[in-house]
Structure 1
Amino acid sequence: MLEYIKPFTDIVFPAVYILFFIGTIGVLAFANRSIAKKVWLACFFALLVAVTVVGMTVMPVVEMHKYSQPNSDEMTYYEVRIVDSAGNEIELDDRATPPMTGSRTSSVGQKMAYQYDDEERMEMGRFYIEKVNRYRATIESGGPPIYTALEPPRYVDDQQWTAEQLKNYEEFESVRIYERTIVVNEDNDAVERNEETHLVTIDIANETVTENETAIEGEQA
């Protein structure tokens, strides 16, 4: 179904977005008529069902569909890792930097590697280290507040840090950005290749930024 719709996305997406707000304004104008509310709700749920079946992100119901868009056979993303004073790495737990999740963290990681200058990188590095150290203290003191159990579930595949896990790490003081490339087979049921390339290290303790110049120049070439 996606193949049939893709040629028309330049028209369909803006039309859905505009019609949603026109319909909402219409409902507000005729709020005293129950039929207007019923029509608006019927259209909204029809749109919700449609994007769930098709699997495409359509504003304003962004990320409300049940299934994500299918990935290609080769996927590249950027991973942020936190490093302690002994050089041990741990993948960032996005719960330390709400509301970011995997895809948004990947976008930030890509910008830190290829777009930001050293001053901007250092600023982002300080942000991460401050946030993760505060989050680490929360985990080591017994975990997040009880009210977080009432928050919506996280629709991302990640692992939460644990106090037991953090015992193996000294003070966090650096951030490293990696480029990860995963290639799956034609049947999408097995990983054929999983590669990673270290791009940048931001050392907050020593206030230094170190690039893997070969990797970054190769990507930008």
Structure 2
Amino acid sequence: MALLRPLAFLAFVAVTVVAFYFSEHTLVRRGYVVGFVAVLVVASATGVAMFPAVTMHKFADTVDEESTYHEFRIADESGTEIEYDQRASAPVIGTRHASLALATVEEYDDEKRLEIAAFLLEQAIEHRTDVESGPSFSERVRYPRHMHVEGWSATELEDVGEFDRLVIYERTVRYDDDAGSIENRSERKLLEIDPDEERIEGPAA
């Protein structure tokens, strides 16, 4: 699969270039459209995400009976925590946040951990100022994001003091096979990183 995906991508690009070059021929145009639709049908029938049908097939990703992921939270001086608003660090959104949190716990050394925590904390502080001052004109007219992200509200931030440190949790969700609903959740704190004091605590430290 590691080789198949890049080969499929290169094949699609090559076929598209050829089809574009010979686009004046009706047979080529029709053949390209038929082939493209066929790829979509195969992706839908098999549930295999393959470029160019990566996000076009009708099947959602399968979910295991138990799912574990990592998430960032921000804590204030008193220990009050709030889930990290992914809009604060625009280049790192969605599943990339979970991947970065996992890498911070399992792969990076303390120097890299402090660097990541300092960046995310600084971005969070700036974003908090924007949230509390209300949406700007540019935000109101900006094209909507391609994914839904639950963000902070000014009301929610009233109960949180000045951001002090970054916290990483491991969360486990267990699903009911029959109903497909969440059966139970559990979480444990893995790391607490204070970049100002260069302090890293927790079982994963």
Match of 2:119 in 1: 127
Select 1:147's aligned residue among 141, 151, 157: 141
2:92 is equivalent to residue 111 of structure 1: no
Worse overlay, 15-24 or 41-50: 41-50
Q: CA 1:48–1:136 in structure 2 vs 1: closer, same or farther (change >3 Å)? A: farther
Alignment-mate amino acid for residue 144 of structure 2? E
RMSD of aligned alpha carbons: 2.4
Q: Write out per-residue CA displacement over residues 68-100 of structure 1, whole angstroms, 9 at most, x where no aligned residue.
A: 311111111001111122211111111112243
Retained in 2: the 8 A contact 1:83–1:89? yes
Higher helix share: 1
Q: CA 1:31–1:13 in structure 2 vs 1: closer, same or farther (change >3 Å)? A: same
Post-superposition offset of 1:18 = 3.6
Q: Write out per-residue CA displacement over residues 34-58 of structure 1, whole angstroms, 9 at most, x where no aligned residue.
A: 4433432333344334434544322
2:201 is equivalent to residue 201 of structure 1: no
Match of 2:150 in 1: 159
Name the TM-score, length of structure 1 as normaliser: 0.80
Retained in 2: the 8 A contact 1:73–1:188? no
Please give the residue correspondences for 1:6-155 in structure 2 after superposition, counting only pairs within 5 Å: 13=5, 16-143=8-135, 145-148=139-142, 150-154=143-147
Q: Write out per-residue CA displacement over residues 92-138 of structure 1, whole angstroms, 9 at most, x where no aligned residue.
A: 11111224333211110000001100100011001101111111111
Q: CA 1:161–1:27 in structure 2 vs 1: closer, same or farther (change >3 Å)? A: same
Retained in 2: the 8 A contact 1:75–1:181? yes
2:165 is equivalent to residue 174 of structure 1: yes
Post-superposition offset of 1:19 = 2.6
Retained in 2: the 8 A contact 1:56–1:68? no
Aligned length in residues: 203
Retained in 1: the 8 A contact 2:115–2:195? no
Q: Identity percentage over the alignment?
A: 30
Instruction: State the distance in 2 between where 1:134 and 1:52 align.
Output: 43
Instruction: State the distance in 1 between where 2:72 and 2:84 align.
Output: 6
Q: What are the ranges of 5 or more consecutive residues in structure 1 without an aligned counterpart?
A: 1-8, 217-221
